[in-house]
Chains A and B, each alone.
Chain A
Amino acid sequence: MKLLEMNHVRKNFDGLEVLKDISFSIERGEVVSVIGPSGSGKSTLLRCATMLEKMDGGELYYMGEAAAWEKDGKCVYASKKELKKLHKYFGLVFQNFNLFPHYNVMKNITDSLIRVDKVARKEAVSRAVRLLEQLGLEDKQSAYPCQLSGGQQQRVSIARALARQPQLLFFDEPTSALDPELTMEVLKVIRQLAKEHMTMIIVTHEMQFAREVSDRIIFMEDGVIKGEGTPDEFFATDNGRIRDFIGKLSGAGA
């Protein structure tokens, strides 16, 4: 079953076409990495999928339910109530974590569960405790984000996203704000999620990581999908531009 489907997505910023007719979908249990140079539109694609940006054209479906579609050449979104429901299907992990600095770790994870999703406090806390244990943060429940390392903050933000039990998890360059050592601890968590067949879409620059965890890799450039395939196909591609990009990044990483 297609968890997410995007068809003919277009997005402009002040007349600049950032996404040009992008179509894309993901099946349950799939891990898809989106790679590409800066400004290629990969983050914008993710922000359109998570409805942080409004698309200028195209369709967006979650679990077959329409979030947005085209009518008379314009993009229309579903009702607030409908969108609220669709919002429960996915979670998003930001590059800069975006934890709430005035809440401790426990409250960062449980507050939206209790306040928004109306989960009983006891259940919310037990979910959080379980996740924090899994992520090796069991002793950080009452710490505030400012007392944590970047890697720990990112793991808390992954816990916050997972606590809502989404069908699909988006990662927007989850390790770009971290040094190599902290990057490792976050990638380890994502790797574990991949093993558990969590459906994930990961925008990343970590080539080796993408190769290792993904079922499919998408290469974006200039607002279009230039290539797509399994990691093996991808790393053996004869598409010069993709080879070039992989080569550059691998070189830069060495």
Chain B
Amino acid sequence: MSIQVMLLQLGKGMIVSVEIFILTLLFSLPLGLVISFGRMSKNFALRAITKFYISVMRGTPLMLQLLVVYFAPYYVLGIKISAGYRFVAVILAFVINYAAYFAEIYRSGIESMPVGQYEAAKVLGYNKLQTFFKIILPQVIKRILPSVTNEIITLVKDTSLAFAIAQAEMFTIAKQIAASQTSVMPLMVAGVYYYIFNLIVAVAMEKVEKAFSYYR
């Protein structure tokens, strides 16, 4: 296999990895916010359920969660797994896992907000929704950006876990080529790809942080 073909095949896998990455963020970032509300709810049952959910998501391996999400429909419900479900299962598992982490990050940010911001908003007549989305959330986002960047960089590398259910993303392909060519080269190239991917992510997040640095 020529090096061009290998780069091309890994590139194709990379596209799938990027898809997993983007879709996971797209769904888990808003879902995490919703879960953080549950975690901070005044309702005891809701709080207990979300707390348990977060502890399971953080307390068990993501690879195991992937396998459960992928195989549960067949083993538990007896539904035949269709070919298209593989990718759906990857996204589903990543979203519910990352949403749990993001929920805790949101919570830390929201709870760190000084009560005076809420009081000022109340006295000025803002309702609860306006207070949260216009006054509180923008400041929370600024506060949590460093932690979110951390998670996002981890996510780039975690996309490789999709190989556990044979999703054809970059790592799975790199492993297949490496096995068939008996060469470590494809794995090295995959490493470089991941590194570049994360370099781009880091630069982008730095830009975002800078965009928020106009105030303290």
Contacts and interface: CB of A to CB of B under 8 A. Distances in A.
Interface string A87-99: 1100110101011
B37 to A, nearest CB: 21
Interface residues of B, number: 20
B216 interface: yes
Interface in B112-126: 114, 116-117, 119-120, 122-126
Contact of B215 (A52, A116, A117, A144): A144
Nearest to B123: A92
A112 B127 CA distance: 10
A51 B125 CA distance: 12
B44 interface: no
Contacts of B138: 102
A34 B123 CA distance: 20
Contacts of A94: 116, 119-120
Interface string A77-111: 00000001001100110101011111000000001
Grouping DSSP codes into helix (H, G, I), strand (E, B) and loop, the B interface class, with mixed when no group exceeds half, is helix
Nearest to A92: B123
A91 B214 CA distance: 28
Given A101-B215, A144-B214, A96 B116 contact: yes
A42 interface: no
Contacts of B215: 101-102, 144-146
A155 interface: no
Interface in A31-64: 50-52
Contacts of B126: 112, 115-116
29 contacts: A51-B122, A52-B119, A52-B122, A87-B123, A91-B123, A92-B123, A94-B116, A94-B120, A96-B116, A98-B116, A98-B117, A98-B120, A100-B117, A100-B120, A101-B139, A102-B138, A102-B139, A102-B142, A111-B134, A112-B124, A112-B126, A115-B126, A116-B124, A116-B125, A116-B126, A116-B127, A116-B130, A145-B215, A160-B124
A96 to B, nearest CB: 6
Interface centre among A100, A111, A117, A144 (most CB of B within 10 A): A100
B123 A50 contact: yes
Contacts of A112: 124-126
A96 B117 CA distance: 10
A216 interface: no
Interface of B: 114, 116-117, 119-120, 122-127, 130, 134-135, 138-139, 142, 214-216
B125 A117 contact: yes
Interface string A111-154: 11001110000000000000000000000000011100000000
Interface centre among A99, A112, A146, A160 (most CB of B within 10 A): A112
Contacts of B123: 50, 52, 87, 91-92
A164 interface: yes
How many A residues touch the partner, as a band? 20 to 34
Contacts of A88: 125
Contacts of A96: 116
Contacts of B134: 111, 115
A96 B115 CA distance: 11
Nearest to A47: B119
A8 B183 CA distance: 85
A91 to B, nearest CB: 7
A164 B124 contact: yes
Contacts of B116: 94, 96, 98
B144 to A, nearest CB: 14
Contacts of A164: 124-125
Nearest to B126: A116
4 tightest Cβ-Cβ pairs between the two chains A and B? A98-B120, A112-B124, A98-B116, A146-B216
B110 to A, nearest CB: 15
A84 B138 CA distance: 25
B124 to A, nearest CB: 4
Contacts of B124: 112, 116, 160, 164
A87 B135 CA distance: 19
A117 B117 CA distance: 19
B15 to A, nearest CB: 37
